Chain A
């Protein structure tokens, strides 16, 4: 199969599926819309969190796929040195980036006239951290597990798994944030 046909065949179905998921993604946020408008930092942090988790999905899949094609990984195992270190790198980067994002949203919201007390900052930090940890874990396991399965089926994980992880990041972050905002604020 030529490259063009392979990309179109592998990507089309999953992109259409991702489009449908994303188009409905805003619905969960709609349920906590009032709280989001009241707390400006939440409004600032949602798109950033959404993007960040999707970015980690792309990084995990592309690095894992490169390792598969380089024949450095021959079977699905979580004990591989590379998988363990990738997990450590992503997890640590996610925690640092989330802390930076919370700080940035607090500072930016101050310019819009919102003053956050310490109770709010702690709640925002915990909410964001819980969402990021849960979703990074889910995305990591899907990327490695499904990535290996797709590769074994002679398909390219870059084409199939990236849209899936970004959609999960999109829907998951909005749904998880909505639930946590409802419970915490």
Chain B
């Protein structure tokens, strides 16, 4: 009876955290959309940028969502302490995510370049530089943000598994679009 009550309490808490994070993410997610709309004219300056965007935005959820999930699991299983320290686990996770970001950024850029060349017959290598530069730039901001937030939520009694998914994808969308705009400004 006591166990059932405890589980019910935990499930209720989970539901509140999931729906709360989702509603906040939905509301703030529109900010990314507003940035994109306001920069719509710049998106045509480099051929292939529109091909790059869906994959580019998706990657942040994939790379950082997985990182937050790994950290969440490690915190729950007490593999790491709730204080953010320079442990080998954290260091290797950070290096792995930076490496993945650079490789995937390069791949996405090459893919956008090839699709644009094959479908539209346009050749412009700037798309590859924009992809890699924007991915590195966004990771520089998002990686520490994801690390700090996961530990902070855990210490405050929230389950990172419930809140970090919506948090990472929403902040990722906004930061990614800003990074793309900065990369465009640098490259053009």
Q: Say whether A associates with B.
A: yes
Please report A residues at the B interface, Cβ cutoff 8 Å: 2-4, 7-8, 11-12, 15-16, 18-20, 22-23, 25-26, 44, 47-48, 51-52, 54-59, 61-63, 65-66, 69-70, 81, 85-86, 88-90, 92-93, 96-97, 100-101, 104, 108, 156, 158-159, 162-163, 166-167, 170
Of chain A, the residue at the smallest CB distance from B69 is: A62
Contact present for B100 and A58 (CB under 8 Å): no
Most buried by A among B21, B70, B103: B70
Contact present for A15 and B73 (CB under 8 Å): no
Q: What CA separation (Å) do A8 and B68 show in the bound complex? A: 16
Q: What CA separation (Å) do A86 and B100 show in the bound complex? A: 30
Q: How far is the CB of B44 from chain A (nearest CB, A)?
A: 15
Contact present for B100 and A97 (CB under 8 Å): no
Contact present for B15 and A92 (CB under 8 Å): yes
**Any chain A CB within 8 A of the CB of B54?**
yes
Cβ-neighbour of A12 out of B33, B103, B173 (below 8 A) = B103
Contact present for B65 and A166 (CB under 8 Å): yes
Please give, as numbers and ranges, the residues of chain B lying within 8 Å of A18 by CB-CB distance: 55, 58-59, 62
Please give, as numbers and ranges, the residues of chain A lying within 8 Å of B59 by CB-CB distance: 15, 18-19, 22
Given A58-B165, A93-B18 in contact, is the A48-B100 Cβ separation under 8 Å? Answer: no
| Chain B interface residue count, Cβ-Cβ cutoff 8 angstroms | 62
Given A63-B162, A66-B73, A170-B58 in contact, is the A23-B63 Cβ separation under 8 Å? Answer: no
Given A62-B73, A158-B70 in contact, is the A22-B65 Cβ separation under 8 Å? Answer: no
Q: What CA separation (Å) do A159 and B93 show in the bound complex? A: 11
- Number of A-B contacts defined by CB within 8 Å: 187
Q: What CA separation (Å) do A23 and B169 show in the bound complex? A: 17
10 closest A-B pairs by CB: A58-B165, A62-B69, A7-B96, A22-B55, A3-B92, A158-B69, A62-B161, A163-B62, A22-B58, A4-B92
Please give, as numbers and ranges, the residues of chain A lying within 8 Å of B164 by CB-CB distance: 58, 62
Given A7-B100, A100-B26 in contact, is the A166-B19 Cβ separation under 8 Å? Answer: no
Please give, as numbers and ranges, the residues of chain A lying within 8 Å of B99 by CB-CB distance: 4, 8
The dominant DSSP class at the B interface is helix
Cβ-neighbour of B29 out of A22, A51, A166, A167 (below 8 A) = A51
Contact present for A159 and B18 (CB under 8 Å): no
Contact present for B55 and A97 (CB under 8 Å): no
Mask of B41-68 contacts with A, CB within 8 angstroms, 1/0: 0000000001110110011011101101
Residue pairs across A and B with Cβ atoms less than 8 A apart, 23 shown, are A3-B93, A3-B96, A11-B66, A11-B100, A12-B103, A15-B63, A16-B107, A22-B59, A48-B26, A48-B30, A51-B166, A52-B166, A58-B61, A58-B165, A58-B169, A62-B72, A62-B161, A69-B73, A69-B77, A89-B14, A92-B15, A100-B23, A104-B26
